[in-house]
Amino acid sequence: MFNHVNHGIVLPKLTRDTSETEGRHYTTDKGSIYPSVTTVLGNLSKDSIKQWRKRVGEKEANKIAHRASSRGTAIHQMCEDYLNNKNDYAVDVMPNNIETFNILQPHLDKFINNIWFQEEFLYSDELECAGQVDCIAEYDGELSVIDFKTSRKEKQISLIHNYFMQASFYAAAFYERTGTPIKQGVIIIAVDGKLEPQTFTIKTHDWLPKFIDARQQYRFEKGV
């Protein structure tokens, strides 16, 4: 059984809207409208994505993107339910998604406990950005921003800097909202055909300046 911490912190509820042209935006409890962290960071790879879509074709690209999104949503939901101690976390789940989750499960059991939040909204007025964090909990005894990912093949560190910047943003936003610092970010990736997940642990303050640069670039290009 996973322990859930009674910390007394209540995070604000946000509303979100998504469009094909402007990406995802959140409206805060104070009425501010901020782009999502994934939209801001996705702007960094827009050119390579366009090239990939051109190379494989729009129809195939849409099929791959939809399949990846559906699997990611299913695995995130399983992780959330499992960490919430729900016995039916695998009920009505596709067998291939259960197989993917089984890569993560022993790692969750071994390293994660004392859970603060799951799938909660966070925003920063200073950074003018918002998002929904997967999990804030202790990882190997240290309070961390934890993100769950899936992949068809192992990831090279040079290709997942966005994951690290995203974790750094959530840590900064959490500190702004609560006054509680989070020094560690953890990315856990279930890779097809692997018995154990890829795991990357970062110091969040190392990657915050890089996120700030990405946010400034987005503001310069988009005007928001």
Closest of 66, 50, 52, 28 to residue 176, by C-alpha: 28
* Residue 62 within any structural domain of the chain: yes
- Which strands make up the sheet holding 112-124, listed edge to edge? 112-124, 129-139, 142-151, 184-191, 198-203
Strands (E), the chain: 15-19, 23-27, 33-35, 112-124, 129-139, 142-151, 184-191, 198-203
Domain extent, residue 128, equals: 15-222
Number of domains, the chain: 1
* Residue 148 within any structural domain of the chain: yes
**Alpha-carbon torsion, ordered 29, 30, 33, 39, to 10 deg:** -50
* Residue 122 within any structural domain of the chain: yes
**Strand pairing report for 184-191 and 142-151:** parallel
Phi and psi at 160, nearest 5°, equal -125, 30
* Residue 46 within any structural domain of the chain: yes
* Residue 206 within any structural domain of the chain: yes
- Residue identified by tokens 């110091």 is 203
pLDDT at residue 49 is higher than 60:
no
What tens digit of pLDDT does each residue of 132-176 get?
999 999 999 999 999 999 998 999 999 999 999 999 999 999 999
* Residue 6 within any structural domain of the chain: no
**Which CATH number characterizes residue 98's domain?**
3.40.1350.10
**What's the predicted TM-score (pTM) here?**
0.92
What tens digit of pLDDT does each residue of 60-81 get?
545 555 566 677 789 999 999 9
pLDDT at residue 52 is higher than 50:
no
What tens digit of pLDDT does each residue of 88-127 get?
999 988 999 999 999 999 999 999 999 999 999 999 999 9
